[in-house]
Chains A and B, each alone.
Chain A
Amino acid sequence: MQDLNHLRRLEAESIHIMREVVAEAENPVMLYSIGKDSTVMLHLALKAFYPSKLPFPVLHVDTTWKFREMIEYRDRLARDLDLDLIVHTNQDGVAQGVGPFSHGSAVHTDIMKTQALKQALEKYKFDVAFGGARRDEEKSRAKERVFSFRTAQHRWDPKNQRPELWNLYNTRKAPGESIRAFPLSNWTELDIWQYIYVEKIPLINLYLAAERPVVEHDGTLIMVDDDRMPLGGKEPEMKMVRFRTLGCYPLTGAVESNATTLTDVIQETLLTTTSERQGRVIDHDAAASMEKKKQEGYF
């Protein structure tokens, strides 16, 4: 009898976690960010519940600053897969004109992402939300549980986490409290790429290199995705670039690359010598910044 290889093990574990949530939660939701991890999570969910339709809606928090291509891709995918897609934007933030250029990345992310997510969870009364976070991404995530408990104020208390033994997850909670479930906890970035390759999962083209208009901003290449971008007298240049992570376009650094196919991208990723979150402008804060953000409710 051949043993399961590591990808099949990870797949089975993720499916188990998702089924557990659906069996126990009253009103679960899957957070979908359009990135590669979210895409793998969605693919696993389709597998877990086949031939049933996804037994929960998919939530996208739209900061209004995402790449336009992401929004088109999202809507097409929702149609093709017959998803129950919910898009939420923090309208208070929109009314105040909050954006990354006018308010800086920290305020923008807090209001349009963290606060927006809390609003959406409260508005729809979701009690369990799937997130695509991996433990290998960052040190404080290495200690987060698969079923991570949030107070009624959406706060995470790293010192007071429930012990999590075997595959027996404790899903009990009081009214108002919620759980973030992380089915990809034990995946690494390489596992994600390998799985995309093996399962032939279609990805958004922003991961592939193409000629795109960019300007240099504090040493980072930023794509000029629309005319809200203040150019400061600089002319956008057409460069062969691609993105290693996806988010708000003004906060997502492009990397110069000639990787135009999935295997090129995987090859480049494997040979690269800087870690993944470097491309995200938001993480360049103090040492324990992610832990702090998470205590406040960042995913």
Chain B
Amino acid sequence: MTHQSDLIAEDVVAYLKAQEQKSFLRFITCGSVDDGKSTLIGRLLYDSKLIFEDQLAALEADSKKVGTQGQEIDFALLVDGLAAEREQGITIDVAYRFFSTDKRKFIVADTPGHEQYTRNMATGASTADLAVMLVDARKGILQQTRRHSFIVSLLGIRHVVVAINKMDLVGYSEETFAAIERDYRTFAADLGFETITCIPMSALRGDNILKASEDTPWYTGPALLPYLEAIDVDRDRSGAPFRMPVQWVNRPNLDFRGFAGTIASGTVKVGDAIKVLPSAQTSRVKDIVLYHDTLDSAVAGQAVTITLDDEIDISRGDVIATAEEPPEVADQFEAKIIWMADDALLPGRPYIFRAANRQMPGVVTDLKYKINVNTLDHMAAKKLELNEVGVCNISLDAAIAFDPFQDIAEMGAFIIVDRMTNNTVGAGMIDFALRRASNIHWQALDVDKAERAVMKKQKPAILWFTGLSGSGKSTIANLVEKRLHALGRHTYILDGDNVRHGLNKDLGFTDADRVENIRRVGEVAKLMVDAGLMVMTSFISPFRSERRMVRELVEGDEFVEIFIDTPLEVCAERDPKGLYKKAKAGEIKNFTGYDSPYEAPEAPDLHIKTVDQSAEDCAEEIVRYLEDNGYLAAV
């Protein structure tokens, strides 16, 4: 699969030598189906002789069968991959295409353009150095051109080609071209692109794709392919300070201890002074190993193994950096986030954050605003939905070494993973660290949790009652507290309704507010455990992830999850507060069990079925559990 060259037949060795020095460019094409995006890519493959005879035969047959160009070849068919997409006539996912010329190898990310595919475009843009933005000459700059430009700028792309397509349909008008170019440059002025190059073309007819078109004599700039072959996009990376996130520690024997990783930025030489973050230890580079070769130096993009002069403790996720200009270390950041999942991002809910070879739990502490991807307006928001972009504060469980995404993309990018489904649900770019983390210190106290517990002769814990509204949580918790009180234990009940009258009276019943409700209750319960109390909480707490969040606030056995299991029909029949009747009548929205989900615990510490036993029996079972597991003994 290559372009044709006479040199192949004449002297293949000389040809291979010449090919070895080829450079590399990854770009993304943006535009909608109607703009001729697939046609453009098909044309690039076709014109650079990258289609084999059998593929061409298949393409011709397909063009006649399902094509949109009559008897002509429909280049788009060459590009649109999966069967389901072909039938719908749209490109759903990100597809990667390959072609090469004598000078360069290209990888093209082809992504769909509709707003509901913003996440696909972000995915394609994340590995691209340049964007080709297709504009229909008849329509000019549209809302989607603005949206695509914003997304690629957000993902750090600095070079844009505006391919003003379908010039044949506007009579190759110079005025039309000039007007669109002016519009684009005006609107894109704030997006931080380093270069913007506008090219008049017709993908269907091949104008200004491989070479200058005779139909646009007034255009003196480069044709698309020569431009893509020539542009230099690498300068930024190799000029930045040296960073290498450690990916894997290579220790075949006691004599060799190497740190393997891909260099994120800059250059490293043998003998360079380095600093390891976050530990801040220093050393010098002893060797740079790549298989049987030892290198004198290595640059951004290379995957190498580095050994150091000193024996220092380094593990996966640490960053080896130049000692002169090391990265910052922090655990709280302001970042831009693109949300990629159907379930919205909720501030306060814990997720896994994955950045440069490390992953750790963290939360979005504050969603400052979301950005309308079409107008770039800022809007207040409580959650971030699929394909939305927001500016957030995030807080990680541990400090990491980082650089702002704008400076070194590899050191400032992260993905967000859902803890339950393990899906990648979002992508983010760090803007800067929040100083708060280093300014608020824990006040060290002399009397600690253990000492308070000894005095009270109990093992403090949160007894977390979860279950549907009307399942009997409060009734049973109340009975448990009475029994414990009679036994001389120190207890407290945090009740859902009561807390909402005070501490949480500013919160409603949306998913976002429910998460915040539980977060606050969790923090209060944690303080009470610290004070040595047995805390009973009685909240519907419908989401697994929030219950898990509270579990992780305290130590392992300080959280006892008690599932009060009463079937929905029974709860609705009991209906002690008349809420089910109202929900049924549509008077209450977001009611758990009706139009808001309840995620039952998969492995509760105690599973109490209320249908066949009295509330007293249920309470008794819980107290027995506490006795059996040492909660009521002196610690």
Contacts and interface: CB of A to CB of B under 8 A. Distances in A.
B427 interface: yes
A92 B322 CA distance: 58
Given A47-B291, A166-B413, A170-B422, A4 B24 contact: yes
Interface stretch (B77-85, B469-477, B611-619): B77-85
A55 B305 CA distance: 16
A163 B123 contact: yes
Contacts of B409: 166
Given A22-B248, A52-B251, A9 B299 contact: no
A197 B18 CA distance: 13
Interface in B564-595: none
A6 B19 CA distance: 9
A293 interface: no
Contacts of B323: none
B163 to A, nearest CB: 21
B301 A5 contact: no
Interface in B5-29: 8-9, 12-13, 15-16, 19-24
A143 B357 contact: no
Interface string B241-252: 000000110111
Report whether over half of chain A's contact residues are helix, strand or loop; otherwise say mixed. helix
B19 A194 contact: yes
B94 interface: yes
A198 B191 CA distance: 42
Contacts of B16: 194, 197-198, 263, 266
A174 B54 CA distance: 42
A50 B82 contact: no
A274 interface: yes
A1 interface: yes
A96 interface: no
B180 interface: no
B2 interface: yes
B105 A191 contact: yes
Contacts of B9: 267, 271
A270 interface: yes
Contacts of B546: none
A4 B267 CA distance: 12
Contacts of B119: 163
Interface string B295-339: 000010111010000000000100000000000000000000000
B97 interface: yes
A110 B12 CA distance: 39
Nearest to A186: B107
A161 B95 CA distance: 12
A159 B299 CA distance: 37
A5 B250 contact: no
A81 interface: no
A278 B98 CA distance: 19
Contact of A12 (B53, B94, B120, B302): B302
Contacts of A264: 12
Nearest to B239: A1
Nearest to B126: A165
B93 A9 contact: no
B260 interface: yes
A166 B410 CA distance: 8
A158 B15 CA distance: 38
B53 A165 contact: no
B262 A52 contact: no
A16 B303 contact: yes
Contacts of B417: 170, 172
Nearest to A165: B126
Contacts of B518: none
A274 B104 contact: no
Contacts of B62: 287
Contacts of A19: 247-248, 260-261, 303
Interface in A1-49: 1, 3-9, 11-13, 15-16, 19-20, 22-23, 46-49
B1 interface: yes
Interface centre among B12, B104, B238, B305 (most CB of A within 10 A): B12
B539 interface: no
A288 interface: yes
A162 interface: yes
Contact of A136 (B98, B104, B301, B414): B98
Interface in B331-363: 340, 352, 354-357
A1 B289 contact: no
Contacts of A5: 20-24
Contact of B299 (A4, A167, A274, A278): A4
A50 B287 CA distance: 13
A161 B15 CA distance: 39
Interface in A113-141: 135-136, 139-140
B410 A270 contact: no
B410 A167 contact: yes
B23 A162 contact: no
A46 B291 contact: yes
A275 interface: yes
Nearest to B258: A51
A168 B357 CA distance: 7
A102 interface: no
B605 interface: no
A135 B290 CA distance: 26
B12 A267 contact: yes
A118 to B, nearest CB: 21
A204 B495 CA distance: 73
B427 A163 contact: yes
Contacts of B301: 4, 8-9, 12
A274 B53 contact: yes
A139 B83 CA distance: 10
B352 A172 contact: yes
Contact of A159 (B8, B92, B303, B356): B92
A168 B24 contact: no
B596 interface: no
B422 A174 contact: yes
27 contacts: A5-B23, A5-B24, A9-B24, A19-B248, A20-B357, A22-B248, A23-B316, A23-B357, A50-B305, A52-B251, A136-B1, A139-B82, A143-B81, A143-B93, A143-B95, A143-B96, A163-B123, A168-B413, A170-B415, A170-B417, A170-B424, A172-B422, A174-B422, A188-B105, A263-B12, A266-B12, A275-B52
* Minimum-distance CB pairs A-B, first 7: A288-B83, A267-B12, A15-B303, A275-B52, A165-B126, A6-B105, A52-B252
